[in-house]
Amino acid sequence: MESLRINGDNEAFKRLEPAERPAVRRKRSSPKMPAFMTSAPGKVIVYGEHAVVYGKAAMAAAISLRSYLLVTALSKLQRTITLRFPDINMEHSWEIDDLPWSTFAHPSKKKNYFDLVDKLDPKLVEAMQPHLTVVSPKASPADKKIHQSAASAFLYLFLSLGSKNFPGCIYTLRSTIPIGAGLGSSASISVCLSSAMLLQLRTLSGPHPDQPLVEAELQIERINRWAFVGEMCIHGNPSGVDNTVATRGKAVVFKRGDYSSPPTVTPIQTFPELPLLLVNTHKSRSTATEVAKVAALKKLHPAIIQPILEAIDKVTESAHELVLSSAFNARDDWSVRKLGDLMSINHGLLTALGVSHPKLDRIRELIDSRELGWTKLTGAGGGGCAITLLNSSASPSALLSLQGKLATEGFEKYETTLGGEGVGVLLPAVLHDGFEGEGGEEIDQESFLNANGIEGVEKLVGVGVDAAEKGEGWKFWSKIQGKQETIDV
User: Three-state SS string across 163-220, please?
Assistant: CCCCCCEEEEEEECCCCCCCCCHHHHHHHHHHHHHHHHCCCCCCCCCCCCHHHHHHHH
Contact 55, 257 (CB under 8 A): yes
> Taking the alpha carbons of 8, 11, 12, 17 in that order, is the dihedral positive or negative?
positive
Q: How many CA atoms lie within 13 A of 226 on its CB side?
A: 31
Rg (the chain; Cα; Å)? 25
User: Which letter does DSSP use for residue 119 in this model?
Assistant: S
Rounded distance between C-alpha atoms, residue 139 and residue 90, angstroms: 9
Rounded distance between C-alpha atoms, residue 5 and residue 8, angstroms: 5
Residues paired with residue 431 on neighbouring β-strands, in sequence order: 441
| CB neighbourhood size of 108 (10 A) | 6
300-to-297, 355, 483 alpha-carbon distances in Å: 5, 16, 49
**Helix (H) or strand (E) segment spanning residue 146:** helix 141-161
DSSP-derived secondary structure for 24-93 = P-----PPPPPPEEEEEEEEEEEE-TTGGGGT-EEEEEEEEEEEEEEEEE--TT--EEEEEEGGGTEEEE
Task: For residue 94, give the amino acid letter.
Answer: W
Contact 5, 21 (CB under 8 A): no
User: Which letter does DSSP use for residue 114 in this model?
Assistant: T
Longest dimension (CA), the chain: 101
Residues paired with residue 252 on neighbouring β-strands, in sequence order: 60, 267
DSSP-derived secondary structure for 427-489 = SSSEEE-TTTT-SEEE--HHHHHH--HHHHHHHHHTTT--HHHH-S--EEHHHHHHTS-----
The C-alpha angle with vertex 177 and arms to 172 and 181, in degrees rounded to 5, equals 125
Contact 243, 227 (CB under 8 A): yes
- Residue from 97, 115, 242, 368 carrying the catalytic annotation: 242
| CB neighbourhood size of 487 (10 A) | 15
Coil, helix or strand at residue 375: strand
Q: 242 catalytic, yes or no?
A: yes
Catalytic residues: 242
